[in-house]
Structure 1
Amino acid sequence: MTHTQAPWDIVFIHADIATMARGRYNIIKDGAIGVAQKKIQWIGTSDKLQASPGPIADEIIDCTGKWILPGFVDCHTHLIWAGSRSNEFEMRLSGASYEDIAKQGGGIAATVAAVREASEDRLFNIASRRINHFISRGTTCVEIKSGYGLDLENELKMLAVADRLAQRFPLHVSPTFLGAHALPPEYKGRADDYVDLIINTMLPGIKNQGIACAVDVFCESIAFSIEQTKRLFTAATDLGLPVKLHAEQLSDSGSAALAAQFNALSCDHLEYLSLDGAKAMAHAGVTAVLLPGAYYMLKETQKPPVEDLIRLRVPMALATDLNPGTSPVHDMATVMNMGCVLFGLTCEQALAGATINGAKALGLDKQKGSLETGKDADFVLWDIDAPADLSYQMGICCVNKVVIAGKITYNSHGLT
């Protein structure tokens, strides 16, 4: 097959390509990708282009043997926050638990106070630095949760910042409403009343603003119960909003099975996921999002049941869980290494988790996460010898160029 259509906007030639279609490397040696109208129009071997009788593109990029992989899809972040919680890191090093810190007014409550005090502009400026770093490390799609406002005004403020980030930066932003992240201080001892506030005031306000793609809940003994989560999921579903869940992180509550009943996009964390919960996720097509950064930072010992998830063919995504308290991780390649070393994933499974399965966790796998014709032209040129290098090497950035929506938006010299 030769190139016979009108010239593309840009073509990348002489690259080794791992398409990650169907979650496998699917390597094309000496490959080429033709891009037009922000989409991948053609992908194949470079020699198929050499017989073309006319110009093949307005711009030709000779990749000189570099690797092209799909851009990272970071499907779980809490990227917008103010303040620092490094003091809590020191507390944990001295033996304090997650619950101990929360009971002393730390944890999520500390960040809520900082976010409520910060202006929208300040939050935007802080988050912009994080977004710039994400792009420079190969992330082309990111989910951003609210959840540090815990009232309608400040939750909307966070989601407005997420929207501004989407307008300002080239990567795709998928905003999630996480009003049920923790109990705000003014509702101490009145969890059901706060759930009523979310259902009756916050969710309709979020829906009317149209600035959230999904609704998340933290279902755990230190957060919200199964019964409260079911009420929240029912209200969100009635409004036509997809749901996802922080599930089974600190205990087996059965929340993953509940999420499956609501056809959740994903269940995230899952260290204490039961076999029954995994089976329910498999039956409902729910993606498992593994967050090894939090596992590492909290010195957990209970691993997610990776073998069960593989056997049941539950897609496994990886994400940074970037947040100020339990996963201050800013790099998807580091997460891939953790997924391999801590959870026993293969390098191929880790890359699938950071690309196509991350897209599945956001409901975006028809557009993103793999290199296939018709999909968004979001990919990264890497100075590596093999895809496994991304999981193997640590502390070095091998990004050469980042392409988002068919445009080179970053190269090794900086943002374009």
Structure 2
Amino acid sequence: RSDEFEAKLRGKTYQEILAEGGGILRSVEAVRKADEDTLLANLMSHLDVMLEHGTTTVEVKSGYGLDTETELRMLRVIGRADEQHPVDVIPTFMGAHAVPQGMDTDEYVDEVCEEQIPAVAEQGIATFCDVFCEEGVFSVEQSRRILKVGRDHGLTPKVHAEELAHIGGTKLAAEIGATSADHLLYSTEEDVDALIDASVVPVLLPGTAFGLGEEYADARMMLDRDAPVAIATDFNPNCHSHSMGFAQSLACVGMRMTPAEALRASTTNAAAALDLPARHGTLRQGAPADIAILDAPSFRHVSYQYGTNVVETVFKAGERVHG
């Protein structure tokens, strides 16, 4: 969707592009037309690039099918990639990513709850259920219903919250006991306190703010409250960056995090955002030995050398998988 990147530079908003059938809906059309092997080949190539940049575990969400058949196909592809690629792939069901053309929102929420989630649970691949709780997409009430049904079917809740406006998605994440709340560009101090009290990991996505030309999330406010801030790339057609190193650079420059805070947010805290055991995302005895060796004097160069990949060698579970 590189043409949409250019359209945004000319002044079109994310919502305007979506209203014209672009954005998520355009990707949905392409994914529905693609066969499983094509989707797998695309995903494997993206994982290759991520591995080269030091990523050893990644969450991959569905959400570009918006119907039962295609959502299940995407999750099958995610499962196959996890089996075939050195990178560990954590699958998340996100049928509530947008409302498909020709459907009313409440009608589509009914489909997600009554048809998609039971089918996803029966398939047995997805770990999490996520929802785009956002103005003009899914309301807090609709999101709550979807996440509760997902939880009843064994899917752990996650929430896309406060990305484009403040509507209450962060407090919903706290209320429902989500593992993480993502984006949080418009979250308040009260919202963050609620996340901390509920042990919800705030996941910040500075690449999204960078790509949209929006204000960054207030990481400093969260860190000053001892929130376990995580960061991620948010790699998707609207935020086309595979590099966690670049995400760390943006976290430092755009959100005033230190290099050490950005590194911790990309490792230990990121593992917590996926409900992984505490030894993940660490370098210590008993940890899985997922290790990135840098061609650089110190860890600070991961964020300092923005635009440059300083990862030389990658080990996965103690075995060299790159370099």
Instruction: Give the TM interval when normalised to the shorter protein.
Output: over 0.9
Residues 299-343 of structure 1: CA deviation (Å, up to 9, x unaligned): 002x32223311321111110100002x11111100100000001
Identity of aligned residues (%): 41
State the alpha-carbon separation in 2 of the partners of residues 278 and 155 from structure 1: 32
1:305 maps to 2:218: yes
Q: Secondary structure at the match of 2:158?
A: strand
Unaligned 5+ runs, structure 1 = 1-84, 412-416
Write out aligned runs for 1:65-214 (5 A): 85-187=1-103, 190-214=104-128
Question: Residues 403 and 409 of structure 1 are in contact (CA less than 8 Å); yes or no, is this contact kept in structure 2?
Answer: yes
Q: Secondary structure at the match of 1:217?
A: strand
Q: Once the 2 structures are TM-superposed, how far is the Cα of residue 367 of structure 1 from its aligned partner?
A: 4.1
State the alpha-carbon separation in 1 of the partners of residues 179 and 309 from structure 2: 31
Question: Residues 92 and 130 of structure 2 are in contact (CA less than 8 Å); yes or no, is this contact kept in structure 1?
Answer: yes
Residue identity matched to 1:304: A
TM-score in terms of structure 2 length: 0.98
Question: Residues 162 and 184 of structure 2 are in contact (CA less than 8 Å); yes or no, is this contact kept in structure 1?
Answer: yes
1:401 maps to 2:305: no
Question: Residues 175 and 211 of structure 1 are in contact (CA less than 8 Å); yes or no, is this contact kept in structure 2?
Answer: yes
State the alpha-carbon separation in 2 of the partners of residues 107 and 171 from structure 1: 28
By relative contact order (CA 8 Å, sep 6+), the higher-ranking structure is 1
Question: Residues 383 and 400 of structure 1 are in contact (CA less than 8 Å); yes or no, is this contact kept in structure 2?
Answer: yes
Q: In the alignment, what sits opposite 1:273?
A: 187
1:332 maps to 2:248: no
Residue identity matched to 2:257: L
State the alpha-carbon separation in 2 of the partners of residues 307 and 404 from structure 1: 32
Residues 207-252 of structure 1: CA deviation (Å, up to 9, x unaligned): 1111001000000112100110110111112122111111001111
Write out aligned runs for 1:200-349 (5 A): 200-301=114-215, 303-325=216-238, 327-349=239-261
State the alpha-carbon separation in 1 of the partners of residues 102 and 16 from structure 2: 20
Residues 340-377 of structure 1: CA deviation (Å, up to 9, x unaligned): 00011000000001111110100114241011222211
Residues 34-83 of structure 1: CA deviation (Å, up to 9, x unaligned): xxxxxxxxxxxxxxxxxxxxxxxxxxxxxxxxxxxxxxxxxxxxxxxxxx
240-249 vs 174-183, which deviates more? 240-249
Question: Residues 268 and 278 of structure 2 are in contact (CA less than 8 Å); yes or no, is this contact kept in structure 1?
Answer: no
State the alpha-carbon separation in 1 of the partners of residues 279 and 25 from structure 2: 37
Question: Which protein shows a greater Rg?
Answer: 1
Q: Which runs of 4+ in 1 moved over 6 A?
A: none
TM-score in terms of structure 1 length: 0.76
State the alpha-carbon separation in 2 of the partners of residues 390 and 365 from structure 1: 25
Q: Secondary structure at the match of 1:401?
A: strand
Question: Residues 99 and 105 of structure 2 are in contact (CA less than 8 Å); yes or no, is this contact kept in structure 1?
Answer: yes
Residue identity matched to 2:287: K
Question: Residues 356 and 365 of structure 1 are in contact (CA less than 8 Å); yes or no, is this contact kept in structure 2?
Answer: no
- Number of residue pairs the alignment of both structures matches: 323
Of Structure 1 and Structure 2, the greater helix share is in: 2
Question: Residues 267 and 288 of structure 1 are in contact (CA less than 8 Å); yes or no, is this contact kept in structure 2?
Answer: yes
State the alpha-carbon separation in 1 of the partners of residues 312 and 188 from structure 2: 42
393-402 vs 257-266, which deviates more? 393-402
Of Structure 1 and Structure 2, the greater strand share is in: 1
Q: Secondary structure at the match of 2:102?
A: helix
Q: Once the 2 structures are TM-superposed, how far is the Cα of residue 382 of structure 1 from its aligned partner?
A: 1.1
State the alpha-carbon separation in 2 of the partners of residues 364 and 343 from structure 1: 26
Residue identity matched to 1:100: E
- CA-based RMSD: 1.0
State the alpha-carbon separation in 2 of the partners of residues 149 and 222 from structure 1: 19
Q: Secondary structure at the match of 2:172?
A: helix
